[in-house]
Amino acid sequence: MAQYLLSNYVRMYRKRMHLTEREVAFLVGLADGSPISRYEHFHTRPSLQTLLRLLALFNCPAEELFAGEYEKAKEAVIHQANLLRLQYKHRGKTDTP
């Protein structure tokens, strides 16, 4: 049975640390808490720099903090790998990746 994962768990980690959106924003170098709110409500995704800072702040891996996004990315890569494997098979190549 597939488990439903949220796009991200920023809110959960923030609440665990007893921080406000504004405090998290300050700690990761954002001007105010509105971007944090947008991440928590799945309206936007953080930039790479902000993502790395959030991971450092919450001391957790990306696949936990952004579990749903990670799973979608993983599934997309597996899908593309299967397509590549089919291309190799149809070309008669034996040295598949």
Tens of pLDDT, residue by residue over 18-34, are 999 999 999 999 999 99
The owner of tokens 């034996």 is 94
The owner of tokens 């991971």 is 55
Q: What is the pLDDT of residues 48-80, one digit of tens each?
A: 999 999 999 999 999 999 999 999 999 999 999
C-alpha to C-alpha distance for 6 and 9, rounded to whole angstroms:
7
C-alpha to C-alpha distance for 21 and 36, rounded to whole angstroms:
6
The fourth-level CATH superfamily of domain 10-91 is: lambda repressor-like DNA-binding domains (1.10.260.40)
* 4 secondary structure, DSSP code: P
The Cβ of residue 44 has, within 10 Å, a number of other Cβ atoms equal to 11
